[in-house]
Structure 1
Amino acid sequence: MDTVPRRLSELGADLGNLAVALPVLVCAMAYAAYRGRRAQALYAGLAMALVPAVIIPLKEWTARPGPLEPWAAGYYPSGHTATAMVAYFGAAFLVSKRLVPVAAVLTALTGTGLILRGYHWPLDVLASLILGLLLLTVSSTCTRRSSG
């Protein structure tokens, strides 16, 4: 028996889909570029481009099976969680720092949905949160150096 309705947990998991998260970041990048913050927009885009460059090799290297599909491999770390984190926090940093709590909620909903649906183990999500934080930190550092 599910403790959370399946539709709700699936919706949370879907927030990490590239088709959902990337347009949010692209719109924020366009807004930032329009406001004259092209370097910040560029580094946010580069951080998003690095998500698959970092996640895919780790998935192949670890070949971790999924919670509901022990015969399948490539579940560690969670690409959806990293995508959500980098896209939503990147968008919040570009548009308004007041949106950071919204980014945190969207990222948390993504990770929770992935775990509840059985797509990922909690450690898969945690590892992606750490990787996302690392990518956002590098992006932020590069932004400060280029504008300072």
Structure 2
Amino acid sequence: MVSPLVPLVAALLLLVVSWQVVVDGPLLGLDRWVKHGVTTAHHDLHSALLARAGHALADLGGTFPAIPALLAGGGLAAWRSRRAGAARWWLPLPVAALTAVLIPLLVVPAKAAFARPGPLGDPLVPGQWGWYPSGHTATATLSYGVAVLLLARTTGVRVARGLRAAAVLLAAGVGAGLVWSDFHWVLDVVASWCVAVLVLWALARRLPGPERTDAP
């Protein structure tokens, strides 16, 4: 059971960060400090391998492979629920599909409204979306998170814990890759994590209880 403090902290942090982005407040100094650290690390390490690793991690938050993983997770969860004889075995299918539709609805209007330039400093051209919040982070965290949330209802406790840990690591890896590659400010990533936490918490409360099975 997730503590009610988790969504509360996520909501407050999202509000504070969004306010600071609007007013160009002092909290954005964290973005500049992290970017300076990343730039220094790039200069000192000068590693093509790390650069490729950062891009590879960031790419895990793209529509492909994240959305196919979400839909596959929903399909597998539905199949396992049907095998277990659950009454509403089909429920993971629309949940996964609706999540795939929800992600751009949460991110795109916010990007257009905040119109925040990216860490490279290039001004936005007319009609271009901003960088805040991070679409790749939201896509990764919600896609892998919802897939795991659905699957975890049909597995044993130990497997469910492993799946949740994997989802957290993937979300963290995508965020780190985006910041390391100068694709996003760190607060862009933090905001999307907050949005995802709120959605996952709300969904977990709405889903029926776990349909545990000891099947592999």
Matches within 5 A, 1:65-104: 65-72=117-124, 73-96=129-152, 97=160, 98-104=162-168
RMSD: 1.9
Contact 1:43 1:143 in 2 (8 A): no
Return the offset for 1:49.
1.7
Contact 2:77 2:150 in 1 (8 A): yes
Distance 1:85 1:108, change over 3 A: same
Cα deviation per residue 1:56-83 (whole Å; 9 max; x = unaligned)? 0000000000001431351000010000
Return the offset for 1:125.
0.2
Q: Which has the higher contact order (CA 8 A, sep 6+)?
A: 1
Give, in whole Å, the separation in 2 of the partners of 1:111 and 1:14.
Answer: 10
Partner of 2:105: 53
Indicate the percent of aligned positions where both proteins have the same amino acid. Answer: 36
Cα deviation per residue 1:16-58 (whole Å; 9 max; x = unaligned)? 0011111111111111121233223422332332111011000
Q: Gaps (5+ residues) in structure 2?
A: 1-40, 83-88, 153-159, 212-216
Give me the TM-score of the superposition, normalised by structure 2.
0.63
Q: Which amino acid aligns with 1:141?
A: R
Secondary structure at the counterpart of residue 119 of structure 2: coil
Q: Gaps (5+ residues) in structure 1?
A: none
Return the offset for 1:132.
0.8
Contact 2:71 2:96 in 1 (8 A): no
Give, in whole Å, the separation in 2 of the partners of 1:45 and 1:69.
Answer: 36
Tell me, yes or no, if structure 1 residue 116 matches structure 2 residue 161. Answer: no
Contact 1:47 1:139 in 2 (8 A): no
Give, in whole Å, the separation in 1 of the partners of 2:199 and 2:99.
Answer: 6
Q: How many residues are matched?
A: 146
